[in-house]
Structure formats: C-alpha cells, structure tokens
Structure 1
Amino acid sequence: MARTRSKKLELSSETMESHHQQLSTNEGKGKRLWKKVKYQLVEYHSLPAYLRDNEYILGHYRAEWPLKQTLLSIFTIHNETLNVWTHLIGFFIFLSLTIYTASKVPNVVDIHSLHLPDVLKKADLHKIHAELMTSLPSLPNMPDLHKLREELRTSLPSMDMLPSLSGWHVVELLYNCLPERFSHNHTDVCVLRSMKEDVLNMIAPLVTRPITRWPFYVFMGGAMFCLLASSICHLLSCHSERLSYIMLRLDYAGIAALIATSFYPPVYYSFMCDPFFCNLYMGFITILGIATVLFSLLPVFQNPEFRTIRASLFFGMGFSGVAPILHKLFLFWNHPEALHTTGYEILMGAFYGLGALVYATRIPERWMPGKFDIAGHSHQLFHILVVAGAYAHYRAGLVYLRWRDLQGC
C-alpha cells in the first residue's frame, strides 16, 4: 500500500516537472515568437495616429520599434528604405562636390606683384603692342608722348625681347609715366586708364583673382543639412511620438534652409557690385526662411490635412526667387553667363516645382494604393527631384564663380 502510494507520488512529481518544462518551453517559444512578431512590418490601419500620413501606402510600416532596431532598419526593406537612402546618397554626393570644389579654388595672385614679362610671354604681344600704339594719341602739346611711343616701340618689338624687360619697367610706364588728365585745352584724354584696362583685359585669363566663396558654400551647407536631416527623419520617426515630432521639425527646417540658401549664390554674385539690392534680396529671403522654420514648429503644421499648405509655403519661398533673376537678366542681358545661369535656375525651379506637386498630390500611389509601398511612391520621387534640383543649382554656382573670378564687378 505504501509502495503504491510512493509510486503515485513519484509519477505525480514527474508529471509536474514535465508540465513545468513544457510551460518553460512554451514560454521561451512565446517570447521568441513575440520578439519576432514585435519587429514585423505592419499595415496602415495598425499604425498609431502620429504615424498615419499617407493612406495610399497600405503596408510595410515600422511602428514604435526600439531605437536599436530602428537604427539597424536602415539595412532592411520597408516603405521608408528608399526615402532614407535617396537623400543619404545625395548628402554624400554634395559632400564630395564641396570637397572637390574647394580643392579647385585657384590661387590668389596680386597683379601688382607679378613679374610682368613672365606673364606677357604667354600673351599675344603683337596684339598688346597694337593696343598700346592706338591708345597713345598724337598730341602736339605733349612732346613726351612721342618719346614714350618710341620707347614702347623699342621695348616691345617682339616676344624675344621680353626677358630683357625688368619686372617693373612696363608697370612704371603704365602706372607712373602718363597722367590720367591733360588740361591744356580742357580735353580729357584718359590714356593711362585706356592702356591699363586694355592690357589687364588681355592678361586677365592668365591672372587668377578668385572672389569670396562663402555664398556658394552656404548653399552647399544648406543642401547637405537638408538631405541629411531628411534621411535621419525618415529613419527614426517610427521610434516614438516625441522623436517623430522632433524629426519632422528638423525635416521642415532642412527644406526651408535649402530654399533660403539657394538664393545666396545668384543674389550675391549677380549684385555684388550693387550692395543695396544685394542686401535687400538676401535679407528678404533670410527673413522668409526663418519665418518658415518658426511656422513649421507649430504642432498643427505636421497634420496630414496641412500637406498642401506645407507644399505651397515651400513653393512660395522658391517662387520669390523670380524677382532677383529677372533683375539680373535686365542688368546683364548681354552677358552669356547671365543667360547660362538663368537656364540652370529655371531647370532647378522645374525640378523643385515638380517635386512639390508630386508630394502634394501623392502621385502615383493614389492611382493604385498598395502597389508602390516599397518603391516608386511620391515621397521617393520628391527626394530624387530635390537632389536633381540642388545639383542644377550647384552647376549654376560654378558658372557664377568663373564669371566673377575673371571679371570682378
């Protein structure tokens, strides 16, 4: 009887232990399954309200993932993958362009310190000689001019004679020998000015005098900030409501910074010789950009129903650039650089405008909901068009730099 009871107790103990083991195994499987399910992509209707932005993208969402998994999701496939990478690649493209352009800045050369014969060796001496001869009129009241004529004829007979010229010999002729005004018969004969301009214009392509680059680099910095902020926003916004709010504010600030800084190169280099209009246009766009950033900080600004207002505000900032461009064309219509840069700026505006239109209308996903969840939806197209527009503006900036480096004001 006792043995039977003992045996029953042993069986009961074994059964309990087996049951506990089964529960432990099931709990472990449940945890692994929950962990697996927890980081699975979800559909639009399962999202918390703050992540619902585009009802035409139906699936492949990340929702409230831990920060580690959110960061690692940059290497996985979801509906934000291409949004992250299109602008992240764009950021590295513009970083490379900035470094490359900075490395190509020509050396500063002071024309007053040049060894002029060495420079003139590379120039067309026969042309310079002809220009100097025609720049010196025959004035009966100025006998010294005839002497100077003969000196120039003997000093610049050919390129072979240049090594015998001292560095300052021609400079003294140009700067010291001739007065700018002859007042014997109240007639202005600007011989020195004419000679100096003719010679310097001929050797200007050989003498590099780079102007300030800061407006160009301000634009490049604004472009890089916009692209990097956008990438970070699309990567981290799914973590939590608070972080999503911060990231969206950063994204809108980046867009405003890109648009505002895009004005700096065309305005500065077009009106660098007219400080009033230069300061007027740059001040206006700077104030407008700051106002847009402050308005974007309002919580209501991120609601989906304000999508069209957001796009319109940014479009309006870009459209305000029409005034300085038209003004530039009016002032420099005969300069090919003005037309060249305007072409790039029209192309940039077309890319930005088309991007804003696609963003606001949510094309093409609105035509086939769910078909463009991973690739091809409006925000990805918007990102590509923004990078293309910024690159067109970069090309315009290079034209501005070459123009002003060679011609100055």
Structure 2
Amino acid sequence: MVLYKGPQLLDFAKTPPHLQFNKYVLTGYRPVSTAQECLRSLFYMHNELGNIYTHGIPFLVFLVLLPFSIPWMEVDSVWICVVHYLACLSPTMGSVVYHLFMNHMGGEHVYDTLLSLDMFGVCLVNTLGALPIIHVTLLCYPTIQQATLLVYIFLSAYGIYRATTAYNSIMRLRAFVWQALFRFSLFLFRAYGSGGGSPNSLRLFVIMDSLAVLGGVVNVIQIPERLIPGLFDNWGNSHQIMHVMVICSIIYLHWATVEDLAWIKAYQCPM
C-alpha cells in the first residue's frame, strides 16, 4: 500500500507517550501530523493502516448493502430497522476516525476525544443492537417490554459514561460486561420458552456475543504480538484480530435480527 511516500516512521520509544499503549508493537508509528497529513496516511504503510482498513472497508460495505437486506416494508415498526442499521454502522465509523487521526498534532487532548468517540460507537452497537432483541423477546408482554427498554436505555447511558472515561483496556472491557449479562438474561428467557423470537436467531445472538467478548479478551492480553514483539507491528496484531471479530459479530447480529423480523411477521401472541 505505497501510493504516497510517507514520512519517516517512528519506533515505540520515540512516539508520544499517549500513543505508547502497546509495548509489543515496536515500529511503524506515524509522527505527529496535521489533519491533512493524517488523511494522507491512508496511502502508505504504517502500524495503524490495518486497523483503519479492517473497519473502514466493512463500514462502506454495511453502509451500502445492509439497507437492501433489511425488510423495511414487511415490519410494522420501522424504528427497529433504523435502530438496527445504526447499530451495525456505529462501531466501525467511530473506530476509523479514531485510528486515522489518533496522531493528530492536537496531542493527548485530541487523542482522548477520539478514543471517547470510538468507545461511544462500541456502546451504541451494544445499546441499539439490544433494543430489537428486547422488543422481540418481550413482544407478548408489552408493559414489561416498555419498562425494560427504558431501564436498558438509562443503564446504557451509564455504560457510555464508564466506557468513555475509562483509563485502560481492562476498564473499558468491564464497562461492557453488564450489557452482555443483560442480553444473556434475555437469551435465557428465550431458551426456556418464555420469551419470543425466531428459533434460529438465539444461536446467532449467542455467537455474536461470544465473538465480541473473545475479541475484547484478545485485545487486552495482546496476543500474538506479546509472544514475538515486532513481528506483528503492521499486520496480524491483537487489535486487528479484535476488529475482524467485531465485524463477524456485527454480521451475526444482522443475521439474527433479520430472522427475528421475519418471525414477527408470521407470529401472533396467544390471547
């Protein structure tokens, strides 16, 4: 990927302290840059290029293709489709902006703002992605459904605060745990026959959350670059693996939601 001759890249020790968050990635750091220079970094090799493209390309694919696979005209509540579409887009969009401009000349203040934007996107996919699940699971219990939706939205706001103010990867991962546990309780409700939803979607939702959790754990433990520092500086490091798992998780979220939307169309709640 050498369409543009980039600047002299830096080693870990020479990069600004706020960018020294993975000591096992030894080389390939971009120098402090203007916004225009950050944009130019899309066209030469450095250690953030893989992070940009592993979410940038899926963002464009989701943006264009997802609307064609969502049954907009076949559901009574169009808001479910809108919420689902935004959920699929939000983590990739925030991630691309963060990784592209993280070395901006604004320094640590700009970096912290971009990181908060990235975490906000992750929180949105958790929050918005779960709203259709709650709606479908509690479809035949409208009073409980509305109360649960309100509680989840309120608690999600707290989760967003915790994730965007966290100081390290472990704290950010913890901020998402309660959301995963909340969804797991809904899955148990379905599994024991009390909640609604397609029989095929539950397995897809479980795979979705499993991939997301596994990706987060891989990112925290920094495998494989921890084993061979320097070998995975540009490609194949833990953060890129997490990015791929996040994309796979979003795909499973989409498949499961489409299954549930088809189920709603054919289902009638018992009297």
**Normalised by the size of structure 2, how large is the TM-score?**
0.90
1:356 aligns with 2:216: yes
1:269 aligns with 2:131: no
Measure the CA separation in 2 of the matches of 1:393 and 1:355: 15
Q: Corresponding residue for 2:160?
A: 293
Measure the CA separation in 2 of the matches of 1:221 and 1:320: 20
Deviation at 1:52, TM superposition (A): 1.0
Task: Decide whether the 8 Å contact of 2:198 with 2:263 is kept in 1.
Answer: no
Task: Decide whether the 8 Å contact of 2:211 with 2:249 is kept in 1.
Answer: yes
Deviation at 1:213, TM superposition (A): 2.9
Deviation at 1:105, TM superposition (A): 3.5
1:89 aligns with 2:57: yes
Aligned partner of 2:80 among 201, 215, 218: 215
Q: Percent identity of the aligned residues?
A: 24
The aligned runs of 1:208-357 (5 Å cut-off) are: 210-240=75-105, 241=107, 242-298=109-165, 301-302=166-167, 306-331=168-193, 338-357=198-217
Q: Corresponding residue for 1:58?
A: 26
Deviation at 1:408, TM superposition (A): 4.0
1:394 aligns with 2:254: yes
Measure the CA separation in 2 of the matches of 1:50 and 1:345: 36
What code does the residue aligned with 1:370 have?
G
Q: Corresponding residue for 2:66?
A: 98
RMSD across aligned positions (CA): 2.0
Measure the CA separation in 2 of the matches of 1:285 and 1:57: 38
The aligned runs of 1:66-215 (5 Å cut-off) are: 66-102=34-70, 104-106=71-73, 210-215=75-80
Question: Could you report, residue by residue, the CA deviation over 1:97-142 in whole angstroms, capped at 9, with x for unpaired residues?
Answer: 432035x5446xxxxxxxxxxxxxxxxxxxxxxxxxxxxxxxxxxx
Aligned partner of 1:382 among 229, 237, 242: 242
Measure the CA separation in 1 of the matches of 2:157 and 2:73: 34
Question: Could you report, residue by residue, the CA deviation over 1:182-232 in whole angstroms, capped at 9, with x for unpaired residues?
Answer: xxxxxxxxxxxxxxxxxxxxxxxxxxxx32131232122022121111011
Deviation at 1:263, TM superposition (A): 0.7
Task: Decide whether the 8 Å contact of 2:223 with 2:238 is kept in 1.
Answer: yes
Secondary structure of residue in 2 paired with 1:263? helix
Pair 1:296–1:332, CA change in 2 (3 A):
closer
Measure the CA separation in 2 of the matches of 1:73 and 1:252: 23
Measure the CA separation in 2 of the matches of 1:82 and 1:308: 22
Measure the CA separation in 2 of the matches of 1:88 and 1:370: 24
Task: Decide whether the 8 Å contact of 1:216 with 1:264 is kept in 2.
Answer: no
Question: Could you report, residue by residue, the CA deviation over 1:122-164 in whole angstroms, capped at 9, with x for unpaired residues?
Answer: xxxxxxxxxxxxxxxxxxxxxxxxxxxxxxxxxxxxxxxxxxx
What code does the residue aligned with 2:100 have?
L
**Normalised by the size of structure 1, how large is the TM-score?**
0.61
Secondary structure of residue in 2 paired with 1:273? coil
Deviation at 1:332, TM superposition (A): 5.1
What code does the residue aligned with 1:231 have?
V
Deviation at 1:406, TM superposition (A): 1.6
Task: Decide whether the 8 Å contact of 1:82 with 1:380 is kept in 2.
Answer: yes
Structure 1 unaligned segments of length 5 or more: list them: 1-35, 108-209
Question: Could you report, residue by residue, the CA deviation over 1:283-330 in whole angstroms, capped at 9, with x for unpaired residues?
Answer: 2322222112222343xx23xxx2212112223322321111211233
Deviation at 1:369, TM superposition (A): 0.6
Q: Corresponding residue for 1:183?
A: none
Measure the CA separation in 2 of the matches of 1:257 and 1:51: 25
Task: Decide whether the 8 Å contact of 2:27 with 2:230 is kept in 1.
Answer: yes
Structure 2 unaligned segments of length 5 or more: list them: none
In our comparison, the structure showing a higher alpha carbon Rg is: 1
Measure the CA separation in 2 of the matches of 1:279 and 1:330: 21
Task: Decide whether the 8 Å contact of 2:162 with 2:175 is kept in 1.
Answer: no
